Structure 1
Amino acid sequence: MTKGSVRFEGVTKHFDDVVALKPLDLDIAPGTLVTLLGPSGCGKTTTLRLVAGLESPTSGRIFIGDEDVTHLSATYRKVSMVFQSYALFPHMTVAENVGYGLTVKRVSKSELRPRVEEGLAMVGLEGFGDRLPSELSGGQQQRVAVARAIVLEPEVLLLDEPLSNLDAKLRRHVREEIREIQQRLNLTAIYVTHDQEEAMAVSDRIIVMKNAEIAQEGAPADLYERPNSAFIADFIGDANLLPVEVARSGETVDIVFDGRRLTLPTAFSTTGQANLVLRPHQLRLSHEASADSLPAEVSYAAYLGNQVQYTLDTALGEIFAVTVPDATPFRKGDTVHVGFDPVAARIVSI
């Protein structure tokens, strides 16, 4: 093992009769940012708290670097956590908040001040040390929380829904700052969120969890372009899931939909009922029919400046499509034909 790595070996967690985490094997490489992503109750926060030492596993072993920390208390683990609520002391100055953990560890005053100043500089808050948290914006308060965590020089930085209290525009800005700091300091970081866009923006690797276990893991592009299930396809980005029949499987597949047979250059292992995955931006809308197109009626159209969003009614169900603005956009009630590139299509199990 390497400093900053995290490993779970068959880790489970039960709360009485509730299974919060099924047997989990997990390896996180040092210097990477890994996001635990999933809906509420999927096990992601439990996993983070197990790394932090805020929960003890029911079974299995947890390693940070070469050290078995399974039964080590949170105080003695080389981790720092950034909480959803910031958890800043309102009566302390920014500098005092950042230096609080160092004070608890009895770091000398001669060392404390430069480390606090360095931490504030890392998050772009030089000169803010004498202010109170109430005098800062939400984004600045979150950066104080990050500075407080990194001045402790942890082997692993844990972030629990760190941006959920910020508005959308500020979330985008702060997540970029967190990612830049993590990469610059080469920190190992575990990030928990239920926001798939946020996860894709900051992560080296995403672990999608469902029902207390891993549903799929990989780089953001892998999960988006090669989902292994309908759940992943729908959870990672917008997706249209259309029922089809797989007539022939293998390295390429033949599908039957809307009474037509079409060959797709994508691998699938079984035949029978399945879902065709079509991303909204990969669809093309036309007044003219083609061999692979579906007739549809526009039930909703919205112009959003840089894109036009359509909801379309088809024989296979409702389809959501996104196109670039056009001088003659389709309107509600129009009949259109929905086409797609077979190379971009994916097949997943129902």
Structure 2
Amino acid sequence: MKGSVRFENVTKKFGDVVALKPLSLDITPGTLVTLLGPSGCGKTTTLRLIAGLESASDGRILIGGEDVTHLSATYRKVSMVFQSYALFPHMTVMENVGYGLSVKGMSKAEVRDRAEAGLETVGLKGFGARLPSELSGGQQQRVAVARAIVLEPEVLLLDEPLSNLDAKLRRHVREEIRQIQQRLGLTAVYVTHDQEEAMAVSDRIIVMKNAEIAQEGTPFDLYDRPASAFIADFIGDANLIDVEITQSGEPTEIALLNRRLTLPLSSKATGLAKLVVRPHHIRLDRDAAADRLPAEITYAAWLGNSVQYTLTTPVGSIFAIGAPQPLPFRQGDTVHLGFGLEDVRLVPA
């Protein structure tokens, strides 16, 4: 199917170093899928294998149903947006966008028309005569996107495309990239180590760790139903508390310190586990209660859109986020914390 990407037990080795363990995945046409993970996890290697910039050591790669495993990058129907933008500084914006079309031997008139249409698509109509040095970082990134999409690729690849931009501009440009991808119905594979960025743009996220897939799913699935402590901690902030499952099934009973809690969720086995509590699900109160833990506030900060606390508790350090209001608690205060049992999750210890 046009625009689909399929890996069948693909591996990549650099000498004795295994950069990618046997990997199988399917990317649906017209979706934006993000490869997310820490440095060295294999995400960029996977992207370069799709692009044809690296060759697979084993397995098969299919794009649009065609086996491209041994096909060079030149003959694959993909375009790549690089982290560094890779614009030619001596060429105008128009020349940069049309460069790939010129290399393909198109007429000057057709190159001009398609380059102008590409610039209009990314909101840079009228910028064609400028040099890259005369543009902001966000505008340069959009030129790089325009250069990629005018080639009409089946798959658009984006390698850490926003890493050179400041935080506010990153948010703006990622929205633009997502809108362009959806408007054109492009299949896109996006690489980042920024989990917030991944959640903001993706139809599906593939989280990688140690050269293999740790978990994949929609942003909501990964956040609300993490399969491991690594995923819970990597996708959004999480407090991981040691507990013991004393009764499996649904509901599940756990032991937390000297307390017995019944959780409205399902578990398959008894034994040690980690309780996942998101910071915004934690409630702080002055008063003690049977279902609350004593805590001392060791750090408190008002950040405008939230209040953040670090607390010392009998189960370890806890991070909590409260509503944006003048600090109700301050460093050194003794409080008691609780959380809704319906809001927590369990992952293997």
Give the TM-score range, shorter chain: over 0.9
Q: How many matched pairs?
A: 349
Moved more, 8-17 or 250-259: 250-259
How far apart in 1 are the matches of 2:326 and 2:209?
A: 43
Moved more, 262-271 or 79-88: 262-271
The Cα shift of 1:154 comes to: 0.1
What amino acid is aligned across from residue 285 of structure 1 in structure 2? L
Could you tell me whether the CA contact under 8 Å between 2:302 and 2:326 is conserved in 1?
no
Q: What does 1:249-264 align with in structure 2 at a 5 Å threshold?
A: 249-264=248-263
In the other structure, the counterpart of 2:228 is 229
Could you tell me whether the CA contact under 8 Å between 2:306 and 2:325 is conserved in 1?
no
In the other structure, the counterpart of 2:291 is 292
Per-residue CA deviation, residues 77-129 of structure 1 (Å, 9 max, x unaligned), is 00000000000000000000000000111111221111000000000000000
2:143 is the counterpart of 1:132: no
How far apart in 1 are the matches of 2:154 and 2:326?
A: 55
In the other structure, the counterpart of 2:272 is 273
In the other structure, the counterpart of 1:111 is 110
What amino acid is aligned across from residue 165 of structure 2 in structure 1? L
Could you tell me whether the CA contact under 8 Å between 2:239 and 2:279 is conserved in 1?
yes
In the other structure, the counterpart of 1:36 is 35
What amino acid is aligned across from residue 28 of structure 2 in structure 1? A
In the other structure, the counterpart of 2:179 is 180
Per-residue CA deviation, residues 185-224 of structure 1 (Å, 9 max, x unaligned), is 0000000000000000000000000000000000000000
What amino acid is aligned across from residue 118 of structure 1 in structure 2? A
TM-score (norm 2): 0.99
How far apart in 1 are the matches of 2:260 and 2:29?
A: 48
2:2 is the counterpart of 1:11: no
The Cα shift of 1:327 comes to: 4.8
What amino acid is aligned across from residue 287 of structure 2 in structure 1? E
Task: Rate the CA distance shift 1:168–1:327 in 2: closer, same or farther, 3 A.
Answer: closer
Secondary structure in 1 matching 2:233: helix
How far apart in 2 are the matches of 1:325 and 1:125?
A: 38
How far apart in 2 are the matches of 1:326 and 1:173?
A: 27
How far apart in 2 are the matches of 1:190 and 1:53?
A: 14
Q: Percent of aligned positions with the same letter in both sequences?
A: 76
In the other structure, the counterpart of 1:319 is 318
The Cα shift of 1:307 comes to: 1.0
Secondary structure in 2 matching 1:99: helix
How far apart in 2 are the matches of 1:3 and 1:46?
A: 23
How far apart in 1 are the matches of 2:12 and 2:148?
A: 26
Per-residue CA deviation, residues 137-186 of structure 1 (Å, 9 max, x unaligned), is 00000000000000000000000000000000000000000000000000
Q: What does 1:58-137 align with in structure 2 at a 5 Å threshold?
A: 58-137=57-136
In the other structure, the counterpart of 2:148 is 149
The Cα shift of 1:328 comes to: 5.7
How far apart in 1 are the matches of 2:289 and 2:204?
A: 39
The Cα shift of 1:289 comes to: 2.3
Moved more, 4-13 or 245-254: 245-254
2:92 is the counterpart of 1:57: no
How far apart in 1 are the matches of 2:343 and 2:290?
A: 16
2:245 is the counterpart of 1:246: yes
How far apart in 1 are the matches of 2:65 and 2:241?
A: 47
How far apart in 2 are the matches of 1:251 and 1:32?
A: 35
How far apart in 1 are the matches of 2:277 and 2:177?
A: 32
How far apart in 1 are the matches of 2:106 and 2:317?
A: 61
In the other structure, the counterpart of 1:329 is 328
* RMSD, matched Cα: 0.8
Moved more, 90-99 or 259-268: 259-268
The Cα shift of 1:291 comes to: 2.9
Moved more, 42-51 or 284-293: 284-293
Could you tell me whether the CA contact under 8 Å between 2:307 and 2:327 is conserved in 1?
no
Per-residue CA deviation, residues 8-53 of structure 1 (Å, 9 max, x unaligned), is 0010001111111111110000000000000000000000000000
How far apart in 2 are the matches of 1:53 and 1:342?
A: 48
Secondary structure in 1 matching 2:145: helix
How far apart in 1 are the matches of 2:89 and 2:96?
A: 9
Could you tell me whether the CA contact under 8 Å between 2:296 and 2:312 is conserved in 1?
yes
In the other structure, the counterpart of 2:161 is 162
Secondary structure in 2 matching 1:325: coil
The Cα shift of 1:252 comes to: 2.1
Question: Which 4+ runs in 1 deviate beyond 4 A?
Answer: none
The Cα shift of 1:290 comes to: 2.8
Task: Rate the CA distance shift 1:111–1:240 in 2: closer, same or farther, 3 A.
Answer: same
What amino acid is aligned across from residue 243 of structure 1 in structure 2? D
In the other structure, the counterpart of 1:301 is 300
What amino acid is aligned across from residue 253 of structure 2 in structure 1? D
What amino acid is aligned across from residue 232 of structure 1 in structure 2? I
Q: What does 1:211-230 align with in structure 2 at a 5 Å threshold?
A: 211-230=210-229
Q: Which runs of 5+ in 2 are unaligned?
A: none
How far apart in 1 are the matches of 2:312 and 2:330?
A: 13
What amino acid is aligned across from residue 122 of structure 1 in structure 2? T
2:200 is the counterpart of 1:201: yes
TM-score (norm 1): 0.99
The Cα shift of 1:320 comes to: 0.2
Per-residue CA deviation, residues 284-335 of structure 1 (Å, 9 max, x unaligned), is 1111223321110000000111211000000000000000134561011111
In the other structure, the counterpart of 1:46 is 45
Per-residue CA deviation, residues 216-270 of structure 1 (Å, 9 max, x unaligned), is 0000000000000000000000000011111111132111012100001112222
